[in-house]
Amino acid sequence: MQRKIIHIDADCFYAAIEMRDNPELQGIPMAVGGSAERRGVLTTCNYDARAYGVRSAMPTAQAMRLCPQLTVVPPQMHKYREASKVMRGIFANFTEIIEPLSLDEAYLDVSEISDEELTATRIAKAIRQQVREELDITVSAGVSVNKFIAKVASDWKKPDGLTVVPPDEVDAFVAALSVKKIPGVGAVTAEKMHRYGLRTCADVREWSLHDLRRRFGKFGVVLHERARGRDERPVQPSRVRKSVSVERTFTEDVSGPAEWAPIIERLYINLMERIEAAKAWHAIDKAFVKLKFNDFTTTTVERVGTKAVEADYQDLLAEGWERKAKPVRLIGLGVRLIDDGDHVSERLPFSDTPLSENDTTA
Ligand code: TTP
Ligand code: MG
């Protein structure tokens, strides 16, 4: 079956949010990052600044030399996270199959939900419009048959662009594509490919899989695929959690460890059920507990190298309680899960919604 994939990427994301919130920054070259005096670097810059050669990850001092009138503002991560959430909410109006790559970028698989009426292109247009209306920023979109081409396409007419590569145009589109556009081909690989006379995907098609492997190792297999416009990778909705936890707030404070044994037993069973449901057994890294005292202060205690045994929770709670030795309003038990290391911290949404159980018995 022919898939329909959309790749969405916000235009100069952090800079767009800053310009939206401060009209004085509009129409002038501006960037978001640390100050030159403090050896800062830029996270990104608007398109006016890009005309001067200013780029993401560039030291601010260097950017100021390229563009002396550049205005640099500090990042406000909470705003970008908030905007990112709204964006994902908009995507979720259309499909559940969303794979976020960063705060401002995601793949959507709309194969199942699109039809002759609601085409993938229409969905992309609707998303772009909703983002503009709700967030007052622009996103670029690419629509095609797989992740690779959708991603290249979203970059094609940036900023504020929509590029559709329909199935019957994939072959010609890819043939003419510069190898530098293939994700994974950085400056070094591109240079090496140029030395072998490989400039476009059409050039790469001339090479056998064997030769590509010999020169480029495992990546040679990817090159062989991409040069033909092939990419079988599924859009993987992010289900990666960082922790699983349960907690309980008491209607009447609990005085201390002597009183809470039966409560822990119940909570522990709930936690086990949640871990089971999340299929998170293999990923347990640490056990942790949370205590909220009757003065509303909160404390957490963690222990590495346990597989979340009930006795460990008793110990951790006793340890936490000693810190204040006051009546307790809330107890939480949880496990932190191993980060598989594959993702940068902003890549996946933090998903740690504790199961709150309101006490009806105490
Ligand atoms: P990008 O989507 O790579 O860049 P962008 O949205 O600023 O610009 P474009 O129009 O080309 O898509 O990254 C998204 C945000 O991530 C960006 O606004 C700032 C942040 N970022 C960094 O903090 N450091 C970096 O090196 C890069 C590339 C991005
Ligand atoms: Mg972007």
Q: Please tell me the distance between residue 234's alpha carbon and the centre of ligand 2 in angstroms.
A: 21
Q: Which of 9, 11, 13, 32 to mutate to test the pocket of ligand 1 (most atoms within 8 A of CB)?
A: 13
Ligand 1 atom with least separation from CA of 104: 14
Q: Please tell me the distance between residue 43's alpha carbon and the centre of ligand 1 in angstroms.
A: 6
Nearest CA owner, ligand 1 atom 20: 43
Exposure string over 193-226, b if 16+ CB within 10 A, otherwise e: beeeebebbebbeebeeeebbebbeebbebbbbb
With 0-12 CB in 10 A as exposed, 13-18 as middle and 19+ as buried, what is 360?
A: exposed
Among 18, 105, 225, 247, which one carries the catalytic annotation? 105
Question: Which of 22, 4, 2, 6 has its CA nearest to residue 14?
Answer: 22
Ligand nearest to the CA of 158: 1
Question: Which one is predicted more confidently, 224 or 282?
Answer: 224
Tens of pLDDT, residue by residue over 346-360, are 333 333 334 444 433
Residues 6 or more apart whose CB falls under 8 angstroms from that of 308 comprise 271, 272, 275, 284, 287, 335
Question: Rounded CA gap, 42 and 52, in Å?
Answer: 14
Q: What is the mean pLDDT of residues 154-180?
A: 98
Please, what are the domains in the chain?
A: 1-166 (3.30.70.270), 183-226 (1.10.150.20), 243-361 (3.30.1490.100)
Asked if 99 is an active-site residue, the reply is no
Q: Please tell me the distance between residue 44's alpha carbon and the centre of ligand 2 in angstroms.
A: 9
Question: Which one is predicted more confidently, 110 or 362?
Answer: 110
pTM of the model: 0.71
Tokens for 237? Answer: 């909705």
Neighbour order of strands in the sheet with 328-337: 298-304, 284-293, 328-337, 243-254, 355-358
60 DSSP β-pair partners: none
Percentage with pLDDT > 90 across the chain: 77
Give me the pLDDT at residue 258, please: 85
Question: Rounded CA gap, 151 and 229, in Å?
Answer: 12
Q: Please tell me the distance between residue 8's alpha carbon and the centre of ligand 2 in angstroms.
A: 8
Q: Which of 20, 43, 54, 181 to mutate to test the pocket of ligand 1 (most atoms within 8 A of CB)?
A: 43
Ligand 1 atom with least separation from CA of 57: 26
Give me the pLDDT at residue 285, please: 86
Ligand 1 lining (C-beta closer than 6 Å): 9-14, 43-44, 56-57, 102, 104-105, 158-159
Tokens for 96? Answer: 């559940």
Q: What is the mean pLDDT of residues 252-260?
A: 88
Tens of pLDDT, residue by residue over 136-163, are 999 999 999 999 999 999 999 999 999 9
Give the E-state strand segments of the chain in sequence order. Answer: 5-10, 30-33, 42-45, 71-73, 98-102, 105-109, 139-144, 162-164, 243-254, 284-293, 298-304, 328-337, 355-358
164, 143 contact by CB (below 8 A): yes
Q: Please tell me the distance between residue 102's alpha carbon and the centre of ligand 2 in angstroms.
A: 9
Least confident of 83-92, 309-318, 348-357: 348-357
173 DSSP β-pair partners: none
Q: What is the mean pLDDT of residues 169-197?
A: 96
Q: How far is CA 334 from CA 167, 253, 307, 312, 328, in A?
A: 48, 21, 11, 11, 17
Q: How far is CA 302 from CA 61, 315, 319, 334, in A?
A: 42, 11, 10, 9
Give me the pLDDT at residue 239, please: 56
Least confident of 46-60, 147-161, 191-205, 285-299: 285-299
Backbone angles phi, psi at 53, to 5 degrees: 95, 5
Nearest CA owner, ligand 1 atom 12: 11
Question: Rounded CA gap, 178 and 158, in Å?
Answer: 17
